Structure 1
């Protein structure tokens, strides 16, 4: 059966995304503080779930808790292993209001987590408790975005299965608000220069401590008002951007040092799933071939197990 791929229109989506991104930063920072540090900041991420985005289980003393964005029922749900649960409504409300009520709910559950209460990777970084500016929540737009994430997560997961080397989970970074999966060559990389807005350089340098080929999905920005897939590698060989990639609509940005494929070009194709998989695979090959990765020992094919 062909998957139904929804239309994503950046001007319709952008204000809701701007607000929800900040909400996810608050939730993501709770996970960051409560979890042990994992390499490449993998402990901070969220995960696509059938109803929205989830922290998955977070250990806390002799209990565990989980926070879920439900974009179907439009609730934020905090669930404890003790059987307790608290919910917040998702509707047009300010970041400051969301932040205050969430921490009140956590206190009711006996959960005390102190976060750095300003956003990362956005500029300006308005403290959460003071942000009365971002307050848009369009239920239809976030539901459409979630449907797209479900489809993309499925394809990214299939792509991840073709690699036996070190590879990240398919996970959602709330800093840049993107879904990503990253493959590693196994070799250390040169020191990364850092430079992300409101992000410590040492965090970026640990994230890129080893050679990577990374791909992801991002909802766009005012400077590039198109939801898009991207692919890059670090370090970047001089001939990386000159490699043949698929589908034909994919292009390389010399300014960004990345390949891009607009979401709209994927869903307009005769086979969106194949178009996206072709992009993921061909851009990985661009990185692996120009970077002299040991492909023979890093790649795998388990399709025979299903026969």
Structure 2
């Protein structure tokens, strides 16, 4: 069955991104540093994205389908926090107050005249993290999530995630998990030719909701480093080479969404064909 056409995409995408940034910040407050910066990365769920289980046993879900945060502590009553009409800063304040009482163990203890967001920023720095700019975490404009669009993107993201995971399960070698990076709000995984080092030869498969020059979502892939010079190999349709600003492979979301076949199976097949075209460039 075809995926949603994601009408009214950009406003909802921007506001979901604003919410995802908060979850990434929460993870850096609660988790120790991990290889490949995975302490910042979010988990994909059928409803949206999540912090995953934090060390204190709680978790925060950003539910795309109804535009809410859902906080589930290890013990006690959970909380549902609607995004609609609330600013990013107000939402972060609420989340930090809840988490400090449970998962952060009072690390953000009250200080006269110091806002809890500023206390959280200082706490992140004390743990040797470089937190995002305050303006990226504490916007003052009310958020507005179109729930139909949110439901459509939750379904699309879950389908792409499953397609990538199923393809990835057949690969040998060292890889990073399939995660969401809150800074760009993109799904991503790396496969390493030899050493698990981002500065060594690898292939990146991912799915971005938007970026400069791409107002709509797209599947992407690239190899690093490319040989110099190289002839771009043929790709499975509807994949194409992109060479403006960065060099890699792109498949427009609308080409995926229009398929009558199971979208996860289609993405899985695309990943196999794209990976097969890219991997010889590393050898």
TM-score (normalizing by structure 2):
0.82
CA distance in 2, matches of 1:134, 1:233: 39
Matches within 5 A, 1:6-45: 6-9=4-7, 12-45=8-41
The Cα offsets for residues 143-192 of structure 1, whole Å up to 9 and x where unpaired, read as 11111111111111111111121112221111111112221112376xxx
2:111 corresponding residue in structure 1: none
**1:179-230 deviation per Cα after TM superposition (whole angstroms, max 9, x unaligned):** 12221112376xxxxxxxxxxxxxxxxxx23322011111124632221110
Preserved CA contact (<8 Å) 2:67 2:145: no
Residue 153 (structure 2) pairs with residue 145 (structure 1): yes
Correspondences of 1:4-83 after superposition (within 5 Å):
4-9=2-7, 12-60=8-56, 64-83=57-76
Aligned partner of 2:116 in structure 1 is none
Aligned to 1:137, what secondary structure does the other structure show?
coil
Contact 2:27/2:51 (8 A) holds in 1? yes
Q: What is the match of residue 246 of structure 1?
A: 236
**Among residues 219, 231, 235, which one is paired with 1:229 in the alignment?**
219
Distance 1:15 1:158, change over 3 A: same
| CA–CA separation in structure 1 for the residues paired with 2:159 and 2:103 | 36
* RMSD of Structure 2 on Structure 1 (CA): 2.6
* Matched positions, count: 262
Alignment pair present for 1:267 and 2:246: no
Task: Give how far 1:289 is off.
Answer: 0.7
2:162 matched to 1:166?
no
Query: Relative to structure 1, is the Cα distance of residues 69 and 259 closer, same or farther in structure 2, using a 3 angstrom cutoff?
Result: same
User: Relative to 1, partners in 2 of residues 1:240 and 1:16: Cα closer, same or farther, differing over 3 Å?
Assistant: farther
1:286 pairs, out of 277, 280, 283, with: 277
What is the aligned partner in structure 1 of residue 140 from structure 2? Answer: 132
Gaps of 5+ in 2: 109-119
1:232-258 Cα deviation digits (max 9, x unpaired): 1222223666111111x2211122111
Change in Cα spacing, 1:239 to 1:162, as seen in structure 2 (3 Å) is farther
Task: Name whichever of 273-282 and 27-36 sits farther off.
Answer: 273-282
Shift of 1:270: 4.8
What is aligned with 1:178? 186
Measure how far apart 1:15 and its partner are.
1.4
